[in-house]
Amino acid sequence: MPSLPDIMTPDAEALAKAAGKGRRVTLPAGSPEHDLFTGLTRMGDNTLILGHRVSEWCGHAPVLEEDIALANVALDMIGQTQLWLGLAGTVEGHGRSADDLAFLRDAWHFRNLLLVERPNRDFGHTLMRQFLFDAWHQPMLKALEGSSDDRIGEIALKAGKEVAYHLERSADLVIRLGDGTEESHAKMKDALERLWPYAGEMFLADEVDVRLAHEGLMPDPAGIRPAWDETVAEILAEATLNRPDSDFAHKGGKQGRHTEDLGHLLTSMQWLQRAYPGATW
């Protein structure tokens, strides 16, 4: 009988160590450190989950140039994740690395927006999701440049350069597909209507946001809305798409209440580190 080589052997010591790494945040809720940890994981979990979603297109995009462009955007976001979650681990002070936070937390510890965990569906839907996110991400990073914490300002400055390009690209594609053929227009209209109820969460502040804004660490999310509204109005007009009327907003992602889709994404994303914690190349 043909037999495969024993590719990897799980390591009992590494598994035991991992048990502690997946644990709940131990910082006291409401403490400045806990607030900052939460704010940083919100930034890092957004880029991690959206980065992973976009990476699912690798090898499947409609044309080679878009395949490579999507992979580059995904890589930018994973790189930003490394910075945000790395700083989150430092702030927490319990020795968790960016990798530990990415691969060993469970769904209910993730703090990303529900928007970024939406499944890819078709290419137009993926680009519409990216555009709605980028149009928030760009002014958010701009505001974070002025954080009272220099470490945050530095990450925001670096990420902002990449995201300016992401926004230019996703806006351009939303226009080309919205103002394209009858079929591409219909798909972009459908994507906009599906995703719109997930946009509002980006501007909803909770107590953590209020305290972080008070300390000058991170901006009040509501303050990002005017810039987003302006970009969205301009691009949708060019794309011959109507802005949906409804203001209904799904919420909960920022507080750890997620849709089933995040769970499925994590089982796939975290498999290796769950089965073989501490595995290295």
Q: Which of 153, 130, 155 is nearest to 143 (CA)?
A: 153
Amino acid at 86: G
Using the contact rule CB under 8 A, the part of the chain among 51-59, 166-174, 179-187, 270-278 near a second copy is 270-278
Interatomic CA distance for residues 9 and 266, integer angstroms: 22
Which contacts qualify for 60-65: CB closer than 8 Å, 24 or more apart?
61/123, 62/123
Of 109 and 194, the one with the shorter C-beta distance to a second copy is 109
Spacing of C-alpha 172 from chain mean position: 21
Of 246 and 280, the one with the shorter C-beta distance to a second copy is 280
Amino acid at 64: L
Of 109 and 158, the one with the shorter C-beta distance to a second copy is 109
User: ∠ CA(227), CA(222), CA(51), 5° rounding?
Assistant: 70
Residues 152-211 binding a second copy (CB under 8 A) are: 206-208
Of 146 and 271, the one with the shorter C-beta distance to a second copy is 271
- DSSP 8-state code for residue 148: S
Q: Does 112 bind a second copy (CB under 8 A)?
A: no
Q: Does 279 bind a second copy (CB under 8 A)?
A: no
Of 18 and 115, the one with the shorter C-beta distance to a second copy is 18
Of 90 and 270, the one with the shorter C-beta distance to a second copy is 270
Helix H or strand E encompassing 187: helix 182-195
Q: Which of 124, 107, 155, 159 is nearest to 138 (CA)?
A: 159
Q: Does 230 bind a second copy (CB under 8 A)?
A: no
Q: Does 222 bind a second copy (CB under 8 A)?
A: no
The interaxial angle of helices 123-144 and 225-238, nearest 10 deg, is: 150
Using the contact rule CB under 8 A, the part of the chain among 50-58, 66-74, 185-193, 267-275 near a second copy is 267-275
Q: Which of 85, 13, 8 is nearest to 45 (CA)?
A: 85
Among the listed residues 56, 256, 259, 278, the single contact to a second copy using CB under 8 A: 256
Interatomic CA distance for residues 199 and 281, integer angstroms: 38
Shortest Å, Cβ 212 to a second copy:
11
Spell out, one character per residue from 52 to 91, where the chain touches a second copy: x when CB under 8 A holds, - when not.
----------------------------------------
Listed in sequence order, the DSSP H helices in the chain are 12-21, 32-55, 64-92, 98-104, 114-117, 123-144, 150-178, 182-195, 207-214, 225-238, 260-269, 271-275
Of 15 and 237, the one with the shorter C-beta distance to a second copy is 15
Among the listed residues 23, 60, 161, 243, the single contact to a second copy using CB under 8 A: 23
Interatomic CA distance for residues 201 and 67, integer angstroms: 29
Q: Does 18 bind a second copy (CB under 8 A)?
A: yes
Q: Does 31 bind a second copy (CB under 8 A)?
A: no
- Give residue for tokens 């839907």: 125
Q: Does 39 bind a second copy (CB under 8 A)?
A: no
User: What are the residues binding a second copy (CB under 8 A)?
Assistant: 1-4, 6-7, 9-20, 22-24, 29, 38, 106, 108, 206-208, 255-257, 263-264, 267-268, 271, 274-275
